[in-house]
Amino acid sequence: MLQLYFAPLTRAIRIKWLLEELGIEHEIIPRQFDRAAPYAGQDTPSGRYPVLHDGDVVLSESGAVVQYILETYGNGRLQPAIGSIERAAYLYWFHYSEASAAVPINQYVGLAVYGGEADKYADMIERARQNTDRILSKVEAAIRGRSFLAGDALTGADIMMGFTLWSARMLKLLDERHPETLRYFNELKARPAFAKALAEGRS
């Protein structure tokens, strides 16, 4: 059985959400996030979240874990077929979610949440806010009039982006200035699998 090292408020939410959407049986190994060591030193095999344990496979990095689960257990679900017209958009948004969209959000968290001297870094924090706003404007344009980023159904790209938008919303970086993005996020958040992932470890 798949085992997922899980701490609330971490990217392990992405993996729990995916597993629930696919209906894959799994075991949660509960942990608490150590704020004193936000970037390494967590109580997992890699020192970070998430970590998936599947037999001889121990895998970290949420995007890699999402891709591994889809390739190994998805049976074609939640990803457009290779060669399909939706495939390029799927790949773009799947990777954009962490490689681009999460970058200014991570910078904001590092300075405003974990930095301990927010006043000292006020200019950098404001720059991270502005860069996040630019990122969200790009998502806004892509999702206008659509329910999903690639095609007409939920894919792994939406799960990747959904967590990034959840982070932005939690930090008050996503608001009514981006109404289509907020609508898209709220529709994702209303999915039972996402709700179950958010509730994990918080009862």
Tens digits of per-residue pLDDT, 20-65? 999 999 999 999 988 877 778 888 999 999 999 999 999 999 999 9
Least confident of 33-37, 87-91, 168-172, 178-182: 33-37
Contact indicator for 124, 56 with CB cutoff of 8 Å: no
pLDDT over threshold 70, residue 201: no
**Position 138 confidence tier, pLDDT thresholds 50, 70, 90:** very high
pLDDT over threshold 60, residue 133: yes
Only one residue has tokens 């970058």, namely 103
Mean pLDDT of the chain: 95
Domains of the chain, start order:
2-78+193-199 (3.40.30.10), 87-191 (1.20.1050.10)
pLDDT over threshold 60, residue 3: yes
**Position 123 confidence tier, pLDDT thresholds 50, 70, 90:** very high
pLDDT-above-90 percentage for the chain: 87
User: What pLDDT, on a 0 to 100 scale, did the predictor assign at position 203?
Assistant: 53
**Position 125 confidence tier, pLDDT thresholds 50, 70, 90:** very high
User: Mind listing the pLDDT tens digit for each residue in 92-108?
Assistant: 999 999 999 999 999 99
User: What pLDDT, on a 0 to 100 scale, did the predictor assign at position 51?
Assistant: 97
User: What pLDDT, on a 0 to 100 scale, did the predictor assign at position 99?
Assistant: 97
User: What pLDDT, on a 0 to 100 scale, did the predictor assign at position 200?
Assistant: 92
